[in-house]
Amino acid sequence: MRRLILLCWLALLVPAMAQESIDSSPDPDALFVRAAEDFDAGRYVAAVQSYESLLSMGHPNAPVYFNLGNAYFRAGDLGRAVWAYRSAALRAPRDPDIEANLTVARLTARDRIEAKSPGLIRQVWRTLSGVLSLTEGARLVSIVWLLLWAGAAAWLLVPPWRARVAPALKGMAFLWAVAALILAARYIATHNTTAGVVVAVETEALSGPGGDADVVFSGHAGLEFVVRGQRADYVLVELRNGRVGWVPAVDLLLIGS
């Protein structure tokens, strides 16, 4: 009898404990509101912690990164502010607020690196790859593809429309090819090129991945780069002016990470 009572008590206890665990987990919407309230009240460190919690909970969207960048910037962490703004821009490439705040953060950075001329083809490629996000590009390609098939069906099934439908089909085919090119450019830019930001107050780029290598140049918080390699605890970075060097991984954050 005692064993039966114990089993019944445990059967009631386990669901109650599970429900308590679910109830104690933070609500993302409430956490976002609390972070905004902390930011408005000047509690920037607390706001940073809340936005970082949202990222760890699986909400790496543009608004979270953007507000995290604002909190970092107000807290005096320039490197992570640039990193957060760049991560937000990756998800919302044409958002004017993100672009404006990223520009302000870049102007605050100590290092001003003049970019080398990329050439016409590379410049066009960069422009195309930055027009749309991956989600927007995939949506555009899908919509134009469906319209193209709908037009083709109309051309086949309604002969009197063929004279009017044919030019529209050519235009949609051209638009689909351009949209597919933009999507491919965005995908390559996102997956084949890894960018990052120096988050340490100051770091040294070395000629090799080791402490006994020569110092090539120094970098400071907010310095942006492209990753060209990684070995052990060092990352080979390339600046906009083409200079390269090995930097300790602990001094960096990669965009979107």
User: In the chain, what are the domain boundaries?
Assistant: 13-108, 120-191, 195-254
Q: Average pLDDT in the 139-157 region?
A: 84
Reported as half-sphere exposure (CB side, CA atoms, 13 A), residue 192 has a value of 8
Positive or negative: CA dihedral 146, 147, 150, 155? negative
* Average pLDDT value over all residues in the chain: 83
The rounded distance, in Å, linking the Cα atoms of 132 and 92 is: 8
Mean pLDDT, residues 51-55: 95
Percent of the chain with pLDDT over 90: 48
Residue-level pLDDT at 67: 97
As a whole number of angstroms, the distance between CA 223 and CA 82 comes to 9
pTM of the model: 0.71
List all residues 6 or more positions away from 80 whose beta carbon is below 8 Å from its beta carbon: 69, 72, 197, 199, 253
Structure tokens at 20: 């308590």
Residue 94 is predicted with a pLDDT of: 85
The answer to whether residues 166 and 227 touch, using CB atoms and an 8 Å cutoff, is: no
**Quick one: tokens of 46?**
């607390």
Q: What is the pLDDT of residue 20?
A: 44
Q: Average pLDDT in the 244-255 region?
A: 95
Assign 21 a pLDDT band (cuts: 50, 70, 90).
Answer: very low
- pLDDT value of position 184: 77
Q: Which residue has the higher pLDDT, 17 or 172?
A: 172
pLDDT, tens digit, for every residue of 166-215? 888 888 888 888 878 777 776 766 666 789 999 999 999 999 998 788 99
What letter represents residue 150's amino acid?
Answer: A
Q: State the SS3 of the chain.
A: CHHHHHHHHHHHHHHHHHHHHHHHCCCHHHHHHHHHHHHHCCCHHHHHHHHHHHHHCCCCCHHHHHHHHHHHHHHCCHHHHHHHHHHHHHHCCCCHHHHHHHHHHHHHCCCCCCCCCCCHHHHHHHHHHCCCCHHHHHHHHHHHHHHHHHHHHHHHHCHHHHHHHHHHHHHHHHHHHHHHHHHHHHHHHHHCCCEEEECCCEEEEECCCCCCCCEEEEEECCCEEEEEEEECCEEEEECCCCCEEEEEHHHEEECCC
CATH homologous superfamily, domain 195-254: SH3 Domains (2.30.30.40)
- pLDDT score of 13: 45
Structure confidence at residue 160 (pLDDT): 82
Rounded Cα–Cα distance for residues 238 and 110 (Å): 17
Which pLDDT score, from 0 to 100, does residue 16 have? 44
pLDDT exceeds cutoff 60 at 232: yes
Query: pLDDT band at 217, cuts 50/70/90?
Result: very high
Assigned CATH for 13-108 = 1.25.40.10
56-70, 132-146, 205-219: lowest mean pLDDT where? 132-146
Query: Are the beta carbons of 222 and 250 closer than 8 angstroms?
Result: no
